[in-house]
Amino acid sequence: MATGWAGDGAVQDQIDATIKDGIQRVRDQLPKGPSLKRCEECDAKIPEARRKALPGVRLCVPCQEAHDHEQTAASGYNRRGSKDSQLR
């Protein structure tokens, strides 16, 4: 496959880098440390069942949902941009 200035494995390198970045982003979002008894954003009580199910939990369900919604709004870096979009 002719890729212009790119090396022979450039496409696979981009795929690997995208996967590696995605895995690292998810690992960084995993809770760490002991669970909190009260939400660190709104100070609502975090139920014991939630603390047992998700060790290291720091947010109540409504705050976690809002946080998750904000995270999905950030799409990350697009490594698969077309040549036309890169030339503009």
Average pLDDT rounded to a whole number, residues 35-46: 95
Query: In one letter, which amino acid is 19?
Result: I
Burial of 87 (0-12, 13-18, 19+ CB in 10 A): exposed
Q: For residues 51 and 57, is the Cβ–Cβ distance under 8 A?
A: yes
Give the closest residue to 77 by CA, choosing from 17, 12, 13: 17
pTM here is 0.55
Pick the residue with more confidence: 6 or 56?
Answer: 56
pLDDT of residue 41 exceeding 80, the answer is: yes
- DSSP notation for 2-41: --TTS-TTHHHHHHHHHHHHHHHHHHHHS--SSPPSB-TT
